[in-house]
Amino acid sequence: MANENFYIGGNDEHGVNPPTQGKRTPVIPGLNRQIYENEFNRAAKNYFLEACLRQGFSVYNVKPEEQDVSINERIVRINRQNLTLLVTFAYNAFGDNFNSASGVEVFYSPTNPKPSQSRALGENLYRNLIKGTPQNGRGVKTLDAGVLSRVNCTSALVEAGFMTNLAEARRMINPLWQIEVGEECCQGVCDFLGVEYLPRGNVANYPLLRRGASNNFVMLLQFILNQNGANLTIDGVFGQNTENAVRAFQQENSLSVDGVVGQNTWRTLLFLPPYPTVRQGSRGIYVWFLQSLLESNQIPVGGIDGIFGEKTQNAVRTFQTNNSLAVDGVVGPNTWNALARI
């Protein structure tokens, strides 16, 4: 069976600014704010869908909206698609305050129309999740939730951590953690389907793309560009609008503005190492990445906007001081190495 014949759904629980207390962390010390559950769920789902596109799968984004969508509506959407399988992303909670409850667990429903396949999918997801960042493994469990029991496809739900555990709450806004969970779930899907997994970090795996190209990697390109502010139709066709969006991204990130997606543009789109030295006045996706990492270390930057201003410089100096680094406000290899740990 060709990979494109596998139709993979990604679903994220809840939305921005949920009304219930249990869908956000307690106030994070240092940041003086709560982190909404969907700040993790949505990002992990998007990285999962990116990974699935890289494998050549067809994908379906159940909830592209930032706001919440009812379970009933999501089930209707899912059941119209005839998906091969569905993975839902969530984050757990225990009580209202920070405590020691921790770990990852995966759920499936024994009343799903494909219960044995759903269990097998859950076991494959879990096996890959616990290979990554060391964390408490809570196992594969049963749950009769709507997106598990009332959908017409194989389905599993990942609870990647606890919002009420400070260490795991901080990870929710760490892009490296979001990517890790998305990628490990894609590896689990590949294992379940018997497909060889193509890893994210090798830029040689990404083909040169220019206007006129038409393939899954163009869909991946369009999907990533949309996460960076473009508004493209994700159709896998590299036309004028996609070229314009590539040029805008290249301009914003100080790349050669030629509308061609080669290794340097791919590396930047994926914010892969080696990370460039950034300092006050820098801008672009690596600055956004830096700001996200700083906030995941409980150091506020005054807004994650991809612009390295004075507040970001002060945050870098604080991080350097806390980690016994040279305090110069410049993010070079030593500071990146300290930051890029989950």
- Decide if 277 is inside a domain: no
Domain boundary among 193, 224, 244: 193
Residues 224 and 322 in one domain: no
pLDDT for residue 339 is more than 80? yes
Q: Which domain holds residue 57?
A: 3-193
Q: Span 245-254, mean pLDDT?
A: 98
Looking at the structure, tell me whether residues 210 and 69 fall in a common domain.
Answer: no
Residue 280 lies in a domain: no
Residue 198 forms part of a structural domain:
no
Residues 33, 153 share a domain: yes
Give the pLDDT confidence score for residue 292 in this predicted structure. Answer: 98
Q: Within a domain: residue 276?
A: no
Per-residue pLDDT of 112-125, as tens digits, reads 999 999 999 999 99
Tens digits of residue pLDDT in 126-151 = 999 999 888 899 999 999 999 999 99
**169 and 216 fall within a common domain:** no
**In a shared domain, residues 62 and 163:** yes
Q: Is the pTM of this model over 0.85?
A: yes
pLDDT of residue 21: 64
Q: Is beta strand 85-92 parallel, antiparallel or unpaired with respect to 58-61?
A: unpaired
Please provide the average confidence, as pLDDT, over all residues in the chain.
Answer: 96
Q: Are residues 183 and 149 in the same domain?
A: yes
Q: What is the pLDDT of residue 2?
A: 75
Over residues 267-285, the pLDDT tens digits come to: 999 999 999 999 999 999 9
Does residue 259 have a pLDDT over 60?
yes
Same domain, 14 and 125: yes
- Over residues 231-255, the mean pLDDT reads 97
pLDDT, greater one: 15 or 340: 340
Residues 158 and 15 in one domain: yes
Using a pLDDT cut of 90, give the percent of the chain over it: 93
CATH number of domain containing 133: 3.40.630.40
* Overall number of domains in the chain: 3
Asked which of 15-29, 84-98, 287-301 is least confident by mean pLDDT, the reply is 15-29
Residues 220, 306: one domain?
no
Q: Is residue 300 part of a domain?
A: yes
Last residue of a domain, one of 193, 227, 244: 193
| 102 plus 230 within the same structural domain | no
- 278 lies in a domain? no
121 and 96 share a domain?
yes
157 and 297 both lie in a single domain: no
| Share of residues in the chain with pLDDT > 70 (%) | 99
Determine the pLDDT at residue 284: 97
The dihedral built from the CA positions of residue 227, 270, 49 and 87, taken in this order, carries a sign that is: negative
Give me the long-range contacts of 165-170 (CB less than 8 A, separation at least 24).
165/98, 165/99, 165/100, 165/101, 165/102, 166/28, 166/29, 166/98, 167/102, 168/102, 168/135, 169/25, 169/26, 169/28, 169/35, 169/98, 170/28, 170/296, 170/297, 170/298
pLDDT above 70: residue 232: yes
| pLDDT, position 3 | 86
Residue 111: inside a domain? yes
Residue range 307-333, pLDDT digits in tens:
999 999 999 999 999 999 999 999 999
Confidence grade of residue 19 (pLDDT, cut at 50, 70, 90): low
Residue 275 lies in a domain: no
Domain of residue 230, CATH code: 1.10.101.10
Which amino acid is it at 256? S
